[in-house]
Amino acid sequence: MAILSVCRGTKSGGKALAECLAQRLGYPILGREVAQDAAAQLGVPVKDLQEKMEEKPGIFGRASLLTRLYMAAVRNALAEAAVDGNLVYHGVAGGLLLKDVPGVICVRLLAPLDLRVQSLLDSEGMDRASAEAYIRDVDDARARWVRVMYGEDIADPTLYDMVVNLEKFSIPEVCEVLCRTVAQPEFVLTPERLADLNDFKVECRVRLALLEDLGTQTLELDARVRRGIAVVTGKAPIMKTGEVGNRIAEIGRSVDGVQEVRLDIEWFDPYP
């Protein structure tokens, strides 16, 4: 079976679809809980984590260090939940957090503005003008955040495996299509696919560890893990003592599931 990631704009039916899928498939469902788990791991209030992740980019259009740390913690919490497969996720940036992860089906829901506005009128008691303004503001903030964090256009259909217009289909109809899709042989959780999911989990742990460490958190580093071998890439200052490289390797080796660390770093002279 598969991991299903439901992506949508605010008040576009994402939660209802996720609940339908979880009930039909018997899968656990994960949404806001992933942010709560990430906040608990970092020892910060979940409200602070959510606000930081939603803040506008800095003067140079870059996410702050704290935002990147929080995002890595969220991805790590999601990886821990997804390692066994068979999950429905409808939280923040699912399609991008789970990009390149095997066995993931990412669906984006598009809902007519009138439907979204009516949802706010019913649930929040807003007037129509306020509801429309709220939807525009939230959508713009999410699009801007995705551009900063991932360099992607949230509306790009190639980011998703399926894009569904709820003007044409109902939530139960979309749920039925997805349930039939995940039952196909291509989504069987083979030992190879489960091993890939474990690699993703360990990879997220390494990335988070590099951002948590005061000696490496300001560096432009990334990590890939394949069957216990972590390859750290990026840019870092070269020192005669080799202390930066040693520290990176030490952090990698400290992560549970890492057996070997290899560095593929672009070294630069900090004092040219």
pLDDT at 252: 95
Q: What is the pTM for the complete model shown? A: 0.83
pLDDT at 63: 66
Which residues are CB-neighbours of 193 under 8 A, at least 6 positions away? 85, 102, 103
User: Measuring CA to CA, how many Å separate 218 from each of 39, 120, 244?
Assistant: 21, 41, 12
pLDDT at 114: 85
Which residues are CB-neighbours of 139 under 8 A, at least 6 positions away? 9, 10
pLDDT at 38: 85
Residue type, 251: I
pLDDT at 256: 95
Place of tokens 């999601």: 78
pLDDT per residue over 45-98, tens digit each?
888 777 766 666 555 556 678 888 888 888 899 899 888 888 999 887 777 888
Helix orientation angle between 65-82 and 46-53, rounded to the nearest 10 degrees: 110
pLDDT at 272: 65
What domains can you pick out in the chain, each with its CATH number? 3-187 (3.40.50.300), 191-268 (3.30.1340.30)
Low-confidence ranges of the chain (pLDDT < 70): 1, 52-63, 239-241, 271-272
105-137 b/e (C-beta count within 10 Å ≥ 16 → b): bbbbbbbeeeebbebbeeeeebeeeebbebbee
* Both tokens assigned to 100: 């390149």
